[in-house]
Structure 1
Amino acid sequence: MDEFNYKASAELFPSRRYAKTQQTRYRRFATAAEAIRYLIEDLPSSGRAGSFLEVEEKRFEGEAIRALYDAAAYPLGRRKIAA
């Protein structure tokens, strides 16, 4: 993956199915790192499925988001989470 800017702003577009059942809506984050942490650590896997991030006009979803979270360059601390 090319160099990713974790400091760039990010937009979260939740899956339509999850958004309808959980009242989760579009969210904007000051940094991509915060958005990634929210998706991985705070949303259940059912909420992540079909959701995507847009960062610097690029779209990231599924395994791409997980790879950004697991990358050595990820700047925030990680919580232990269930798979």
Structure 2
Amino acid sequence: MTRFDYLGGAGLYAGKSKAGISGPRYRRFETAAEALRFAVEDMPNSQQRGSMLEIDEARFDQNQIRALYDAPGYPLSRRLA
């Protein structure tokens, strides 16, 4: 994966929940790292599917979100499973 700026601001669009329960569909984060953490650790699995991270003009789907979170360069501590 190419170099990624985890410190820039990011927007996160949550996927639709199958259960019909949904929170905010869009949320803005101070850093991409915080958005990635929220998407992987706090967002329900049903909303992870179809979610999208947007940074400037670049968009990342749920698979790319997970890959960026799992990458060695991810700057925040990860929640232990």
Say whether the fold is shared (TM-score over 0.5): yes
Q: In the TM superposition, what are the counterparts of 1:17-56 in structure 2 within 5 Å? A: 17-18=16-17, 21-56=21-56
Any idea what the Cα deviations from partners look like across 1:19-48, whole Å, max 9, x if unmatched? x62222211000000000000000121110
Gaps in structure 2 of 5+ consecutive residues: none
State the partner residue of 1:65. Answer: 65
- Could you list the runs of 4 or more consecutive aligned residues of structure 1 that deviate by over 2 angstroms after TM superposition? none
Gaps in structure 1 of 5+ consecutive residues: none
**SS of the residue 1:3 aligns to:** coil
How many aligned residue pairs are there? 80
Distance 1:23 1:49 in 2: 14
Identical positions, percent: 49
Normalised by the length of structure 2, the TM-score is: 0.89
State the partner residue of 1:78. Answer: 78
Distance 1:68 1:25 in 2: 21
Q: CA RMSD in A?
A: 1.6
Normalised by the length of structure 1, the TM-score is: 0.87
